[in-house]
Chains A and B, each alone.
Chain A
Amino acid sequence: MRRTVSLTKGLNLNLEGGLTSKESVGKACVGRVAVVPDDFPGFVPKLDVKEGDMVSIGSPLLHDKNDPSVRLVAPAAGVVEAVVRGARRKIERVVIAVDAAECQAETCKPFAGADAATVRRALAKSGLWAMMRQRPFDVVPHSAVKPRAIMVTAMDTAPLALSLEESVKGKTAELKAGIDVLRTLCSGPIYIGMEKGSSLPDSDGVEMVEFPRLHPAGNAGVQIANIDPVNKGEVVLTLDIVTLVRIGSLALTGKPDWTVEVAVTGSEVEHPQVLTAVAGAEMSSLVGGNVKVDGRHHRVISGNVLTGVPVGEDGFLRYPYRQVTVIPEGDDADEFMGWASMSPSKMSVSPSFIGRFLRRKFSPDARLNGGRRAMIMSGEYDKVFPMDILPEYLVKAILAKDIDRMEALGIYEVAPEDFALAEYVDPSKLELQKIVREGLDYLRNEV
């Protein structure tokens, strides 16, 4: 079963520092890894370890206060070096000093073919459950959730991203096992959203849906909204195909696998490349020595330029990203009358910039390129928002904290990442992703 959804709204950003086709896959030498609870919205962390504890791959580090069976686990073996806390003792991250000789893994019994309760228990314990998200609210789903459908995305359309499909090539058995596991979780349809012309094998009972390669078509939320939109009161699980393969691999062998291929990209990277590392790897192991020495300030982003987190060179790889992007920060630039610029190196969707018409790559910096304003121009968000939702009105309803209006305008269907492109094009420079995240959290607490 294959069908095609054609989307015309969206935008592919043409950035410098992308991977060229034949990139050698190197191996990163990871000294430390970290697990950051903030990457798992809805997860209220409670510590299972203390500083100095020995952990092996897959050992529980944290559990959810509201759903104790859901865990975050150690992606590498070693010693818990630090539990970093922020204001009001909030757990910011758990850092593990990796012991290279130690590769002890906490295995479980293979659960392929097991009943639903066993599968749920095993997934929650393995830390893989927390890698899934749900609509509404874009949070880690409750371990007992009964989803109406499951959306697996097999394409990453974000700027400079690594192909999801490449990463799972040749893992047909794991993929199949993963799908079998999903089927025990959900009696409804399972969708796989993939790129047009994809070579992913068809699977029984899975609806394969092709999308054009036009960001944000790779977002699970955009895909489900165009196939089978989420209604109030329903839950749809979303995950990417790499997580699905990990689930399949765990179900078949019982061994956790937290290795991850990371694309090191961006205009300030000397040699864009793909590295094999582990989840939560320290940034220095990924970009160390590979950042241009050009006297500029750099922004080291875990993830892509649209949704990624600027973590700096001493930060860690954050979930769900499999990408590092380094761009110029731009706070050292003094641009005279930038608003009047006719420079062809300015990146914009507006035809008032020459660059819009050039087939070239851009290396934008992190500046806002203007001041924050009220919404002035209309219809700008719509052009990059391929869902049957009026983004401007939804954002206004969120700002007004009007719950009925938010529901009516489709807040249950969206995640902050869906607004990333709108935030990029916005001439008023509003913080849309932050607004939407706060709206989702507000709504979740209220209803």
Chain B
Amino acid sequence: MKALRNYLNRIKPNFEPDGKLHAFRSVFDGFETFLYTPNSTSTSGVNIHDSLDSKRVMIIVVLALMPCLLFGMYNTGYQNWLAAGAASFPFWQIMAYGFLAVLPRIVVAYAVGLGIEFVVAQWRREEIQEGFLVTGILIPLICPIETPLWMLAVATAFSVIFVKEVFGGTGYNIFNVALVTRAVLFFGYPAQMSGDKVFVSTNSICGLGYDLPDAFSGATPLGQIASFSGGDLELLNLQGNVISTWDAFLGLIPGSFGETSTLAILIGAVILLATGIASWRIMLSVVAGGLLMGWIANVFATPTYPASFLSPADQLLFGGFAFAAVFMATDPVTAARTNAGKYFYGLLVGVMAIIIRTYNNGYPEGAMLAVLLANALAPLIDHCVVQLNVARRMRRLRQSAE
């Protein structure tokens, strides 16, 4: 480790303002602070600081996403094997296939996003901010596996620049950057981003997996519900068998890369809650809101809106609801910041996600729009909570004046 430190010390002068590589100062700085905790000490105020910093916060979120990522790899391979009608499912081949399928997407998301971050940090003469560490892994997880790479790059660039950097960088954005990326893809390229092909990887990669025929249908459960036209509602997997609740819980269903497995998401939730990084208030109230609205929809179930036949528990298992509850709604920057506001914000996300999903057949996944809507309303929710505090103070002032 000493050798590395010495090496960094030796090359550091090149990145100083008059060094020959000064254009890469922010990049060097980012790597240096990543490798070695800066030993700058406090110059004002408190003399000691808590050991927690934003690097650790972000890395813990990335760690919490790992079960989803690993399961997503398996499921991507599994769906390909399943669609090809395979009888055996070799674990390591499936994992290798899934890894190769997602790798280019992760690389593209990080390269584009971090590239912009580095440039902006250099331009503003600031330190690199860690926010994109999380965003960069979220983006591949919430997009369908067959999203073309160039679209991913365009959408990532758009949302990093226009949703985050123009507002001032990490900590100042109004909307969740990863979700806006997803929304840009969805609204910008609707033909490529919906339908029943995009959610299943259809080609063999490096000799692994199968090339699927054009005729196959890989509709997600929510997609099947949305296009349901009477008769018995049965959700089928790629081989035409009925999807059990257990399959849905494990996540062995078609869907966006990392959000199919409620189990993997739950493991992530446990990590986030145990480390105190994510707000339990938000998670709890999103789930409560989803169950409540799912129950209401189910009580008034009507064939016009087939998703209303889903039980409240199924509503939580299918689509991106669980992922949104654990990883998207809890983004501290875009969520409500007051404790009381968090309950209301979470309820809003949960209720809206089910409303959009159930009562808009054209758009089977409501969680993304629900979170973005709640992001927009979060400052308003907080404003109300803050005004209550202000009103208490004003009342006290009036009373003391009397």
Chain A residues with CB under 8 Å of chain B are: 13, 229, 231-232, 234, 299, 301, 305-308, 310, 325, 327, 329-341, 346-353, 355, 364-379, 382, 388-390, 392-393, 408-410, 416, 420, 423-429, 431-434
Please report the C-alpha to C-alpha distance between residue A420 and residue B48 in the assembled complex, in whole angstroms.
10
By a CB distance below 8 angstroms, the chain A residues around B396 are 229, 231
Q: Is the CB of B44 within 8 A of A427?
A: no
Residue pair B57, A427 in contact (C-beta under 8 Å): yes
| A-side contacts of B44, CB under 8 Å | 431, 433-434
> Closest A-chain residue to B341, C-beta based?
A378
Q: Report 30 cross-chain contacts, Cβ distance below 8 Å, ordered by A residue.
A: A229-B393, A307-B46, A327-B47, A330-B41, A331-B40, A336-B4, A336-B35, A338-B36, A339-B59, A340-B56, A347-B48, A348-B51, A353-B51, A368-B38, A370-B37, A371-B53, A371-B127, A376-B54, A376-B333, A378-B336, A379-B279, A379-B338, A388-B393, A408-B390, A420-B45, A423-B45, A425-B52, A426-B50, A431-B45, A433-B46
**A379 to B339, Cβ gap below 8 A?**
yes
Closest-CB distance, B329 to chain A (whole angstroms):
13
User: What band does the interface of chain B fall in when counting residues whose beta carbon is under 8 Å from A?
Assistant: 35 or more
A325 CB contacts on chain B under 8 angstroms? 47
12 other A-B residue contacts (CB within 8 Å) besides A350-B276, A378-B336, A432-B45: A299-B41, A310-B47, A334-B5, A366-B42, A367-B37, A368-B40, A371-B55, A374-B168, A377-B54, A378-B337, A409-B393, A420-B46
Whether A346 pairs with B53 at a CB distance below 8 angstroms is no
Cβ contact within 8 Å between B170 and A374: yes
Known: A331-B39, A369-B37. A350 touches B332 (CB 8 A): no
Known: A336-B35, A374-B168. A367 touches B275 (CB 8 A): no
In the complex, B299 has a CB within 8 A of chain A = no
Which of B37, B171, B172, B397 contacts A428 (CB under 8 A)? B171
One digit per residue, 1 when the CB lies within 8 angstroms of any chain A CB and 0 when it does not, for chain B 380-394 equals 000001100110111
| A334: chain B residues within 8 A (beta carbon) | 1-2, 5, 36, 39
Contact indicator B46/A427 (Cβ below 8 Å): no
Residue from B42, B51, B56, B386 in contact with A390 in the complex, judged by beta carbons closer than 8 Å: B386
Residues of B within 8 A of A352 (CB): 52, 56, 60, 275-277
Q: Which residues of B contact A366 (CB under 8 A)?
A: 41-42, 47-48
Interface string of B251-280 (1 = CB under 8 A from A): 000000000000000000000001111010
**Which residue of the partner chain B has the closest CB to A348?**
B51
B169, CB-defined interface residue at 8 Å: yes
Interface presence of B129 (CB below 8 A):
yes
Contacts of A231 in B (CB 8 A): 393, 396-397, 400
Assess A371 versus B54: contact at CB under 8 Å? Given A330-B41, A410-B393, A429-B49.
Answer: yes
Chain A residue contacts of B4, Cβ below 8 A: 336
Contacts of B365-392 to chain A: CB distance below 8 A: 385-386, 389-390, 392
Within 8 A of A (CB), among B87-110: none
Supposing A331-B41, A334-B5, A375-B171 touch, asked if A370 and B389 sit within 8 A by C-beta, the answer is no
Residues on the A chain within 8 Å of B53, using CB? 339, 368-371, 427, 429
**With contacts A231-B400, A352-B60, A424-B50 known, is A433 near B45, CB below 8 A?**
yes
Query: A374, B276: Cβ atoms under 8 Å?
Result: no
Tell yes or no: B33 within 8 A of A by CB. yes
Q: In chain A, what residue has the closest Cβ to B4? A: A336
Given A350-B275, A373-B170, is A425 in contact with B50 using a C-beta cutoff of 8 Å?
Answer: yes
B332 contacts which chain A residues (CB < 8 A)? Answer: 376-378
Q: Please indicate the chain A residues that have their CB under 8 angstroms from the CB of B36 in the complex.
A: 334-338
Asked if B37 and A335 sit within 8 Å, CB to CB, the answer is yes
CA distance in complex: A234, B401 (Å): 10
Given A350-B276, A371-B127, CB of A339 within 8 Å of CB of B55: yes
Closest to A375 in B: B171
Residue B69 at the A interface, CB < 8 A? no
Per-residue 0/1 for B276-300: is the Cβ within 8 Å of any A Cβ (1 yes, 0 no)?
A: 1101000000000000000000000
Q: Collect the chain B residues with CB atoms within 8 Å of residue A340's CB.
A: 56, 59
In angstroms, Cα B336 to Cα A340, docked, is: 28
Instruction: Determine how close the nearest CB of chain B comes to the CB of A39; give it in whole angstroms.
Output: 15
Structural contact, A339 and B41, CB atoms closer than 8 A: no
Q: Across the interface, do A353 and B52 meet the contact criterion of CB distance under 8 Å?
A: yes
What residue of chain A has the Cβ atom nearest to residue B9's Cβ?
A334
Please, how many angstroms separate the alpha-carbon atoms of A368 and B276 in the complex?
A: 21
A369 CA to B45 CA in the complex, in Å?
15
Cα–Cα, bound, A222→B205 (Å)? 64
Please give the distance in Å from A385's CB to the nearest CB on chain B. Answer: 12
Task: Report if B335 contacts A (CB, 8 A).
Answer: yes
In contact, A367 and B40 (Cβ under 8 angstroms): yes
Q: Point out which of B169, B170, B389 has the most chain A C-beta atoms below 10 A from its C-beta.
A: B389
| A379 CA to B131 CA, complexed, in Å | 18
